[in-house]
Amino acid sequence: MKRFYPILGFCLIPALFLSGCSSPGHKNPKTISVGSIGDAQKLNPILASDGASAEVSGWVFNGLVKYDPGLNLVPDLAEKFETTPDCKNVTFYLKKGVKWHDGEEFTADDVLFTYQKIVDPKVATPYSGGFERVDLVRAVNRYQVEVSYKEAFAPALANWGLGIIPKHLLTGKDLQTDSFNQHPIGTGPYKFKEWAPQQKIVLDSNPDYFEGAPDIRQYLFRVIPDSATMFLELKSGNLDYMGLTPVQFQKQTDTPLFKDKFNKFQYPGFSYTYLGYNLRNPLFSDRNIRKALTYAIDRQSLIDGIWLGYGKLATGPFPPDSWAYNPNVSPYPYDPEKAKQLLAQGGWTPGQDGILQKNGMRFEFTVLTNQGNDERKKSAEIIQSNLARIGIKVNIQILEWQALLHQYIDKKRFEAIILGWGLGQDPDAYDIWYSEKTREGEFNFISYNNPKVDQLLIEGRKTCSQEKRKKIYQEIHTLIADDQPYTFLYYPQALPILAKRFTGVKVTPIGIWWNFPQWKVLPE
């Protein structure tokens, strides 16, 4: 997938996306059928904050730039681009003759319109942070756009990988409610055809795509809320692709059927899974109490017992494959006695029923996570058991993805959550950790606030040198690890499986989907 920015992950589809009711499998050999445990919400790239929405809209829309397999930014809707050494100016020269799916020509006016909507306070986009420091966006002519920033802005170019939306269709419309979000029109390799909610989304190949019509004529995104059911659909030939669970990857696909018809892949997911705390809740306001919770959780048992070793212990907000990762930050060890000590120092003592209490309040909370992700459910159960041993009662509630996201997370109606982040290649984590990014629909929904981290997030954006930025983000890694606003659980491996009838598939640092429009289908 073309991912430039953080995505709230809920499963195992490309890298970290998996997303109910089963729909019929495909019959056309030129169709690829992809499984997801959750449905999309809005197929508008500037509103797509969850994995399913971002995945599907990523094939309908293009940004001005994209990543190549070597993690270099290269032109997409742009023919070429120029940047100044001070990281303050970018000029995009747009491709000529690119058509929206309705036949209208793509121009600089669409770029300007997209920018205006991203920074419009009436539009609840989680990506506005990437454009706050823009001073001016100017359409020089139909095919040239100049962008200037108020100060040096290192991730400037990467942010323009966000999908461009059409001015001629959305002028004067309310982006939050317009039907465009369910019937998108983009410039991408695939055109929207059909959406049956909680069943499937169908995209057709764009015969007029500026890089050539894809050989795979149809992209079928099937919503199957249970991983075991999805696996049966894969086995029966009704699915071509899914993200496997560790058990499925290691034990259930080592058969002649799967070896004959499918290829399995394994690579770093560029993501992490976490237990996040609502920091507005007094249970979690004390950093030492959050540390106690981390000490009390046997996270290695999650990796060994649930992920069967296909993951690494997480230490903070950047994965080991990121140049921002700080190898000097050690993971918190499993130490229940240390946890008890910190809790006692915080005034928590056992009540008559053994549950810790303080000032008449029991240490009891509910962990929310999403339906269909067995690894997260099992993680929650192990966490529940671990914390019970030190006198903390944990309840578990499993919710359908869109309900979890919009009724609980966006509204901050949660105590603790188990979720994951699928990360962009640039380590700019402003939208997740900056203290003011807490509005509904934004990504700092735990309400994290550390003035030093805020300062470093701004410095990281203003610094052009990657070596200098590396030191900044490594310090951010250290500070957030010390605050433990999340208990960082693990960095999972991506474990996808794909039918062998598709050729041209190559594993790269950005996964296998980077060149999907160029894949071919073997004749039957």
pLDDT digit string (tens) for the chain, length 524 residues: 444 455 555 433 333 333 323 333 455 779 999 999 889 999 999 999 888 999 999 999 999 999 999 889 999 999 999 999 999 999 999 999 999 999 999 999 999 999 999 999 999 999 999 999 999 999 999 999 999 999 999 999 999 999 999 999 999 999 999 999 999 999 999 999 999 999 999 999 999 999 999 999 999 999 999 889 999 999 999 999 999 999 999 999 999 999 999 999 999 988 999 999 999 999 999 999 999 999 999 999 999 999 999 999 999 999 999 999 999 999 999 999 999 999 999 999 999 999 999 999 999 999 999 998 899 999 999 999 999 999 999 999 999 988 998 899 999 999 999 999 988 889 999 999 999 999 998 999 999 999 999 999 999 999 999 999 999 999 999 999 999 999 999 999 999 999 999 999 999 988 999 999 999 998 86
Q: The domain 62-167: what is its CATH number?
A: 3.90.76.10
H helical segments located in 86-139: 108-118
| Partners of 497 in beta bridges | 242, 264
Assigned token pair, 518: 């160029």
Evaluate whether the domain defined by 1-60+188-266+495-524 bears CATH number 3.40.190.10.
Answer: yes
Amino acid letter for position 298: D
pLDDT of residue 407: 94
pLDDT of residue 97: 97
pLDDT of residue 16: 30
Q: What's the burial of 188, exposed, middle or buried (CB within 10 Å: 0-12/13-18/19+)? A: buried
Topology alike, domains 1-60+188-266+495-524 and 271-494: no
Q: What's the burial of 139, exposed, middle or buried (CB within 10 Å: 0-12/13-18/19+)? A: middle
Question: Distances from the Cα of 291 to the Cαs of 134, 177, 295, 301, 367, in angstroms?
Answer: 38, 41, 6, 18, 17
| Partners of 99 in beta bridges | 105
Question: Could you tell me if 63 and 163 are in contact, meaning their C-beta atoms sit under 8 angstroms apart?
Answer: yes
Q: Where are the domains of the chain?
A: 1-60+188-266+495-524, 62-167, 271-494
Assigned token pair, 283: 């249970």
Nearest Cα neighbor of 199 from 19, 39, 17 is 39
Between CA 336 and CA 283 the distance in angstroms is 18
Report the Cα 140 to chain-centroid distance in Å.
34
Pairing of strands 393-399, 364-370: parallel
The three-state (H, E, C) secondary structure of 60-73, written as one string: HCCCCEEECCCCCE
pLDDT of residue 14: 31
pLDDT of residue 10: 43
Tell me the CATH number of domain 271-494, given options 2.60.40.420, 1.20.1300.10, 3.50.30.10, 3.10.105.10: 3.10.105.10
pLDDT of residue 27: 57
Nearest Cα neighbor of 386 from 294, 289, 273 is 294
